[in-house]
Every structure is written in structure tokens, then in C-alpha cells.
Amino acid sequence: MAAEQFIGFLKEEIESKKWDTVVDFAKFKQDKLVTATPQKVKISPLDSLNMIGFQMRNAIISNLSLNSFFLLKCSKIKCSLLKNLYDLLLNTRDAVNKDQLAQLIFLLHLSKSKIEEASEWHYFFVKFISLSHENQIDFSFKESIEKLFDQLKSNIHVQQRLKRAVQNITGEVNLAFDMNKFLINELKLNFVSCEIPGLKGYAGFNSIFVNIVELFSKYEFINKNDHSAFDILKLEFTRLFVHEVCHVIIRQVLRDINVSTPKLERSKKLNIFEAGIYSEETFFCKRIDWIASFSSNDLVASKIREQLIYKRNNIKPSNKKRIVK
């Protein structure tokens, strides 16, 4: 399979610590991968955890070898930058633990991404190993975020909008499974710590992953400047929820964890470039980074934010005009 072919392709260089050796993905695909994995790997979310982990290993390598960046723009990459990926593939041959699963899911998404800069790929290949459930920040609002997560996934209005977004993206009117039951009983929230700045979260196949380091740092920044910091944080978490959960549901509906939503015929027809963004727009009319809108004085976002906060707290909006400095 693809992962084992990749391990064999790198074994001599890794074991000999030939870190400056250049790995050519185009050559790897031509010499090793064409016969081993001729097509994109499909991964069912209904399989066992270890089977999903095993399939993700192969899909990551297959996706990277199909990624236009490595085939056309920069097929060569130093061996040292692939050491963490090599080790992860080696250590997940028989089973996967929680951290390895989080890392594999992240890499599965990364392998299909449209990143154009070699330096970004290099950075992610080195830093993905920092994704962990351990050594998390001790944050006081964890229980409140978990409570909000439970409220969102059981809210009928949230469920209806998510369903509508998924139907539009996939073209599937009947989702072929009980989405509401899945959300309430099976969808999980995983807090992870991570050294990748800007990574707020990502979708699993029955869970969403939230980078608590990023969430906490943003909260600390707002809390110094605004008394409604936690309300803003809740809005940002809600945005993250509707974005990532949309991806989770699509994978459940299509029975494929490795699906690329921009390549779905329905998405192409409606010009839906990214499913999560489309879901956000379904909820908020436009995509709003609530943290960024606070620091940039985005008037439209600020107005929506204030209305939502006032509505939740039953506070009447102030009649005073907002002064933007």
C-alpha cells in the first residue's frame, strides 16, 4: 500500500540520517505508487478506528502524490522535513492512539490542500507532530465551551441550517442517516494543543478538533480590551462549530472521510469553493472572523455581533452612536 511504499522509499535515507537528500514525489509516484494505489483512497467513517487509521496512512501519501504542488511546482523536498511523517507512518502500522489519530486526520486534510508556498508545506510537515491531547492549558472556560457545544448540536435551528447546507453542497436531499441523532449522540468535541499559529480547528469523522492554545490566546487578547470577551469567544466557537461540523456531516453522508468537497459536481455547479465557509454564510449571511472583526473595527460584523450578544443576554442595544477611532 501507499504508506508502506513510502516508508520503503525513505528508509535508507532516514536510517542513515541523510537529511539533505532530496525526495522526489513525482519519481515516487511513477516508480512506486501507480501500481500500488492507482486511485484516490476512499475511507468509510463506519469502519473500525484502527482500520480508519490504516486507511488514512495510505490516503495521505496517495493525496500528496496527486497534489499538483508536488507534481508540477515543487516535487522535491528534503528528507529531514519528512522525518516526522515517516515516524508517524512507522508507528501506526498496527494501531493508533488519540494523538496519532488527531495527527493523521490533520495530515489527511493537509495532503489535499492548495498551499502554494514550499515554506508553508515545510512548516506543517515539521509542526504537525505538536498536535496533542496532553499538556493542555488549564483554562477556566472549558466547561462553558463544552456546554455551548452540547447546546449547538442539539438545537433544532442549528440542525436545520446544517442539513440545508449539506443538502445544497452534496445534492443529497435524503441524507441516508439520522443526522440529528448523530449530532446529539455521536458527535464529540476534542480539545488539542498545537504549535501551529492560526490553526483554530479541523473536522474529524465523528468529532471536531479545537486548538485550545489558539482559542485561549485570542480570548486573552480580547479580554484586555473588551468586557464582552467571552461572548465574542462564544461567537467565534459557534462559527468554528458550523464550519467544521458541516464537513463532518458531509463525510458521513457520502461515507468517505477522504472526500474533497470542492470537487463534488454539485459544489462545482453552485461555485462552492469550501463547504465550511458556505455553512458559515448559511448561518451568518457572510463569513465573519469574530476575533479579527473585533480588532479591525469591522462595522458590519460589529453590528451583527452586538445584536447576537444583546439577544442572548436580553439587553437592549445602546442608542449611542459607535465611534470608530
* Cβ proximity of 71 and 175 under 8 Å: no
State yes or no: pLDDT of 180 exceeds 90. yes
What residue segments make up the domains of the chain, in order of their start? 2-130, 142-313
As a whole number, mean pLDDT of residues 228-234 equals: 81
As a whole number, mean pLDDT of residues 120-130 equals: 95
C-alpha cell at 104: 493523521
Tally of CB atoms within 10 A around 242: 21
In which band, very low, low, confident or very high, does the pLDDT at 153 lie, cut at 50, 70 and 90? Answer: very high
Of 70-79, 83-92, 93-102, minimum mean pLDDT range: 70-79
Identity of the highest mean pLDDT range in 15-19, 156-160, 301-305, 317-321: 156-160
State yes or no: pLDDT of 186 exceeds 80. yes
**Cα–Cα distance for residue pair 299/288, rounded to 1 Å:** 11
In which band, very low, low, confident or very high, does the pLDDT at 1 lie, cut at 50, 70 and 90? Answer: confident
C-alpha cell at 259: 472526500
**Cα–Cα distance for residue pair 103/90, rounded to 1 Å:** 13
Burial state string for 60-81 with b = 16 or more CB within 10 A and e = fewer than 16: bbbbbbbbebbeeeebebbbbb
Helix spans in the chain (H):
2-15, 25-28, 34-36, 49-66, 68, 83-91, 98-111, 118-127, 142-154, 156-170, 179-185, 212-223, 229-254, 265-269, 275-284, 290-296, 299-313
In which band, very low, low, confident or very high, does the pLDDT at 314 lie, cut at 50, 70 and 90? Answer: very low
Average pLDDT, the chain: 83
State yes or no: pLDDT of 262 exceeds 70. no
Task: Please tell me the predicted confidence (pLDDT) of residue 35.
Answer: 58
In which band, very low, low, confident or very high, does the pLDDT at 147 lie, cut at 50, 70 and 90? Answer: very high
* Cβ proximity of 61 and 33 under 8 Å: yes
pLDDT digit string, tens, across residues 29-85: 777 775 555 467 899 999 999 999 999 999 999 999 888 888 776 667 888 999 999
In which band, very low, low, confident or very high, does the pLDDT at 310 lie, cut at 50, 70 and 90? Answer: very low
Of 42, 45, 63, 41, which is closest to residue 108 (Cα–Cα)? 63
